C-alpha cells in the first residue's frame, strides 16, 4: 500500500512541474468520464492548458491520430496499461502519464504509471480509474477532496460495489466524499430508478437484485404492488416507512427458494446532497447510467458537462439518456427475435451472439450484461457477443450468466481465444472485451467453439 501511495506522490510532483499544454485521453464509460471530469477540474484550478479526447479503445487507428500532434505531455485515464508497447511506439520522446486500474501489459517503459496491480492491489474491486485519478488529484492539492464523489461515481459505473458496500481504497475514498458533506450514504432497497421511475418499472427492470416472477414482467410487477396496496405509479422515494417495510418483506419472500440470497435487496444508496429530489443525478447509480448513456451514444462532452454542473449539458444528457433506453430496447428485441436463428449459436456452456451491424458496438456490452441477468441461459453459461464497428472491426463482449459471484476470470477466458488471432483482450474479471478485424470474425467464432468443446472433453475424462 505504501509503495502505491508513493507512486502517486511522485507522479503528482512530476506532473505539477509541467508548464506546457497537456493532452488527456480517457475512456468513454462512466469510469473514464468521471476520471476525465476529476482531472479537468484539477487542471482548471491550476490554470493549466489542456485538451481532451474520449475514446472507445486504444486501437492502432486511434493511437496513430496522436502521432503527429505537437503535445509534449500525454495523460491516459482508465486505459493505457494494456497498450504500453503500442503507446511507446507511437508517442516516442513524449512525457507519458498513465492512470489506470486494468491489468498492465508486461512491457518496460519510462512512462509514469499509477496502477494498483503493480503494487499487489486489486484493480477489479479495490479502486477504479476515477479513484486513481482522484488520489492523484488529491496529492496535487488536498483541497481537491471535494472531487471524491466523482471517484465513487466511477467505481459504481465499474460495478466495484459489493452487496455490503465498497472495500479497500474505494472505502477510504467514500469516507472522503461523505466527510466533504457532498455525499450521503443511506440503507435501503438497492434498486435502480428510485429517484425517477414509477415503482412498477423499478421492479420490472430490477436485475440486481433479481426478483423471480416479477423481473421482466410489467403486469406481474403491477399486480405484486396492488396486492400490497401500494400505488404502482408511486416512486420508491415517496413511499411511507410502512410501505417500504411491507415491500421489502414481500420481495424477500418472493426471492425465497431462488439461487439468490433473499436479503440481498438491502444495501447502500449513494445520494448527492446538492441535487434536487427526483433528479437523475441525485442517486449515484442513476447518475452513472446517465454518463454511460452519453458515452455509449458518442456524446461524452454532455456527460463531462453534467459532471461540471453545466445546466445545458445536463438537459441534453437527459435527452440522450432516453435515446439510450430506446437503443437498449431495440437491441434486446433483436436478440429475442433472432435467438433461434443462425445469428445465435447455443451450446451447453457457451452462447455466441453475432449481431453484426444490427446492434451498435457501444451497446453490445450492455445488452449482453442484461441477457446474462435475465435467466434466459443457465447459470455460468459464457456469453460472447459480437458487433461491427464503423471502422471495419468487430467489438467482442464477454459475460457470464447468473447472479452469484464465481471464480471465472472472463478476461482470461477471452484472452486465450483472441491471442490465437493476434489480438489482445482487456477489461476485468467480471466483464471483458476485445476488438478484432472483421475478416477474423469467423475464425474467432470457430476457435471459441473449439476451445469449449475441449473443455467439455476434459471434464468428461477427469
In tens digits, what is the pLDDT along the chain, a chain of 462 residues?
A: 899 999 999 999 999 999 999 999 999 999 999 999 999 999 999 999 999 999 988 888 899 999 989 999 999 999 999 999 999 999 988 999 999 999 999 999 999 999 999 999 999 899 999 999 999 999 999 999 999 999 999 999 998 998 778 999 999 999 999 999 999 999 888 788 888 889 999 998 786 677 888 887 899 999 999 999 999 999 998 999 899 999 999 988 887 755 555 557 788 999 999 998 888 999 999 999 999 999 999 999 999 999 999 999 999 999 999 899 889 889 999 999 999 999 999 999 999 999 999 999 999 999 999 899 877 899 999 999 999 999 899 999 999 998 666 789 999 999 999 999 999 898 888 889 999 999 999 999 999 999 988 665 443 333
| CATH class label, 2-155 | alpha beta
DSSP 376: S
**Max alpha carbon distance in the chain (Å)?**
68
Q: How far apart are CA 31 and CA 45, in angstroms?
A: 21
Q: Rounded to 5 degrees, what are φ and ψ at 426?
A: -135, -175
DSSP string covering 68-122, please?
T---SEEEEES-SGGGHHHHHHHSTTSEEEEE--SPPPS---S-EEE-GGGGT--
- What is the torsion angle, in degrees rounded to the nearest 10, for the CA atoms of residue 365, residue 367, residue 372 and residue 378? -120
The SS3 of residue 140 is: helix
CA neighbours closer than 13 Å in the CB half-sphere of residue 173: 32
Q: What is the DSSP letter of 195?
A: T
Read off the pTM: 0.85
Residue ranges per domain, the chain? 2-155, 339-461
CATH fold of 339-461: Diaminopimelate Epimerase; Chain A, domain 1 (3.10.310)
| Residue 125: φ, ψ to 5° | -130, -25
Name the one residue in this structure whose C-alpha cell is 500532434: 69
Distance, in Å, from the CA atom of 169 to the CA atom of 134, rounded to the nearest integer, reads 11
User: Quick check: helix, strand or coil at residue 39?
Assistant: helix
Partners of 197 in the beta sheet?
none
Amino acid at each position: 500500500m505504501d509503495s502505491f501511495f508513493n507512486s502517486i506522490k511522485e507522479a503528482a510532483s512530476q506532473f505539477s512541474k509541467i508548464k506546457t499544454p497537456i493532452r488527456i485521453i480517457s475512456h468513454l464509460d462512466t469510469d473514464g468520464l468521471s476520471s476525465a471530469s476529476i482531472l479537468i477540474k484539477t487542471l482548471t484550478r491550476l490554470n493549466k492548458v489542456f485538451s481532451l479526447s474520449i475514446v472507445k479503445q486504444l486501437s492502432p487507428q486511434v493511437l496513430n491520430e496522436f502521432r503527429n500532434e505537437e503535445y509534449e505531455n500525454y495523460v491516459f485515464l482508465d486505459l493505457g496499461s494494456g497498450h504500453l508497447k503500442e503507446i511507446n511506439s507511437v508517442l516516442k520522446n513524449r512525457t507519458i502519464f498513465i492512470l489506470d486500474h486494468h491489468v498492465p501489459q508486461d512491457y518496460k517503459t519510462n512512462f509514469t504509471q499509477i496502477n494498483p496491480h503493480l503494487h499487489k492491489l486489486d484493480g477489479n474491486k479495490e479502486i477504479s480509474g476515477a479513484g486513481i485519478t482522484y488520489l492523484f488529484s488529491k496529492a496535487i492539492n488536498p483541497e481537491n477532496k471535494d472531487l471524491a464523489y466523482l471517484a465513487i461515481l466511477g467505481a459504481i459505473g465499474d460495478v466495484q460495489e459489493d452487496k455490503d458496500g465498497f472495500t479497500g481504497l474505494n472505502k477510504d475514498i467514500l469516507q472522503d466524499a461523505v466527510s466533504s458533506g457532498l455525499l450521503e450514504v443511506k440503507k435501503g432497497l438497492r434498486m435502480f430508478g428510485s429517484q425517477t421511475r414509477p415503482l412498477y418499472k423499478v421492479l420490472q427492470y430490477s436485475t440486481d437484485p433479481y426478483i423471480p416472477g416479477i423481473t421482466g414482467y410489467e403486469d406481474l410487477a403491477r399486480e405484486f404492488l396492488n396486492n400490497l396496496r401500494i400505488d404502482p405509479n408511486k416512486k420508491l422515494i415517496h413511499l411511507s416507512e410502512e410501505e417500504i417495510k411491507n415491500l421489502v418483506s414481500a420481495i424477500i419472500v418472493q426471492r425465497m427458494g431462488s439461487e439468490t440470497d433473499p436479503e440481498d435487496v438491502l444495501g447502500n444508496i449513494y445520494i448527492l446532497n446538492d441535487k434536487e429530489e427526483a433528479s437523475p443525478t441525485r442517486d449515484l447509480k442513476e447518475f452513472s447510467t446517465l454518463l454511460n448513456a452519453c458515452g455509449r451514444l458518442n456524446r461524452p462532452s454532455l456527460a463531462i458537462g453534467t459532471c461540471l454542473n453545466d445546466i445545458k449539458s445536463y438537459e441534453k444528457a437527459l435527452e440522450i439518456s432516453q435515446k439510450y433506453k430506446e437503443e437498449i430496447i431495440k437491441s434486446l428485441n433483436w436478440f429475442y427475435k433472432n435467438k433461434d436463428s443462425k445469428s445465435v449459436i447455443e451450446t451447453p456452456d457457451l452462447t455466441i451472439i453475432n449481431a453484426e451491424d444490427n446492434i451498435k458496438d457501444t451497446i453490445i456490452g450492455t445488452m449482453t450484461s442484461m441477457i446474462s441477468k435475465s435467466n434466459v441461459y443457465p447459470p455460468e453459461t459464457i456469453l460472447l457477443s459480437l458487433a461491427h464497428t464503423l471502422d471495419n472491426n468487430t467489438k467482442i463482449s464477454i459475460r457470464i450468466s447468473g447472479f452469484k459471484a464465481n471464480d471465472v476470470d472472463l478476461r482470461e477466458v477471452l484472452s486465450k481465444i483472441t491471442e490465437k488471432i493476434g489480438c489482445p483482450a482487456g477489461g476485468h474479471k467480471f466483464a471483458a472485451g476485445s476488438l478484432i478485424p472483421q475478416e477474423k470474425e469467423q475464425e474467432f467464432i470457430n476457435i471459441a467453439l473449439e476451445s469449449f468443446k475441449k473443455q467439455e472433453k476434459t471434464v468428461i475424462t477427469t
